[in-house]
Amino acid sequence: MSLKVIIRKIDELSDATLDLTRRLINLLGDNLVAVESSSDGDFNLRIILRRKTWDTIEKILKTIEKVEEEHGIIGKIIPEILETGEVNVR
Amino acid sequence: MSANIFFKKAFLFLESAEKDFSIGLYLKVISSCWFSLEMLIRGILITRFGGAPRKEGALLSRFSDLLKKLNIMDWKSIISQLKLIYIMRIQVDHQNLIPDEKQANDILVTTRKLFKRLINLFNLNNLVFL
């Protein structure tokens, strides 16, 4: 299965996004479809999954929390968590 | 812009969340809980800075900066809980997940605690609609 990772702009969140992506691969495996940085709307990171559950969302948020803590950017990653059916993967 | 109207709306949304829960409208509980906290945060930021970011993501980020700057002991936990409620609200209002009674109850309980914590933290106990 392929994984799409897009960093649209190199900024203070780029390194954290890559670190997070590595952890999400370990956490979610084939369920992870794409991780894209985003500057539009209310979110700055889009995470696309094959199947989404409340449990998955909680696990992703906990992982984000750890990455934010380690990178000194608490509260800065605002993710939009979607299923493939909810979005056209660009 | 007056912060008082936002504080008033924060209380009204919390009241609405309580009523929605009592009649089993769990989708609405999650939305009302978030809106209640959003209004409270907007009011606090307006009081402090004269304005607040329109977008919710930027609002959370700005509020996180404020709590950190004020050296609030549990600021990380506050931000983490706010973010969880915000993400759940997005799932409920715009995406494909539906909360059950337990999730709605958990979010309502967390919202009540956060609400009380922020009211105390920013000395808002004297608001007339309390």
Convert the pLDDT of each residue in B63-77 to its tens digit: 999 999 999 999 999
Query: What is the domain count for chain B?
Result: 1
CATH number of the domain bearing residue B11: 1.20.120.330
User: For position B33, what pLDDT does the model report?
Assistant: 98
Total number of domains in chain A: 1
H-helix segments, B1-130: 3-22, 26-49, 56-69, 75-94, 101-121
Predicted-complex ipTM score: 0.85
Q: Are A75 and B79 an interchain contact pair (Cβ–Cβ within 8 Å)?
A: yes
* Residue A37 and residue A6 in contact, taking contact as beta carbons nearer than 8 Å: yes
Its pTM stands at 0.90
Q: Give which of A56, A59, A74 to mutate to test B binding, by max B Cβ within 10 Å.
A: A74
Asked whether the beta carbons of A56 and A49 are under 8 A apart, the reply is yes
Domain assignment present for residue B128? The answer is no
CA dist B60 to A28, A66, A88, B76, Å?
A: 26, 17, 27, 12
Domain of A80, in residue numbers: 4-86
A chain contacts of residue B74, beta-carbon cutoff 8 Å: none
Q: How confident is the model at residue B2 (pLDDT cuts 50, 70, 90)?
A: confident
| pLDDT band with cut points at 50, 70 and 90 for residue B129 | low
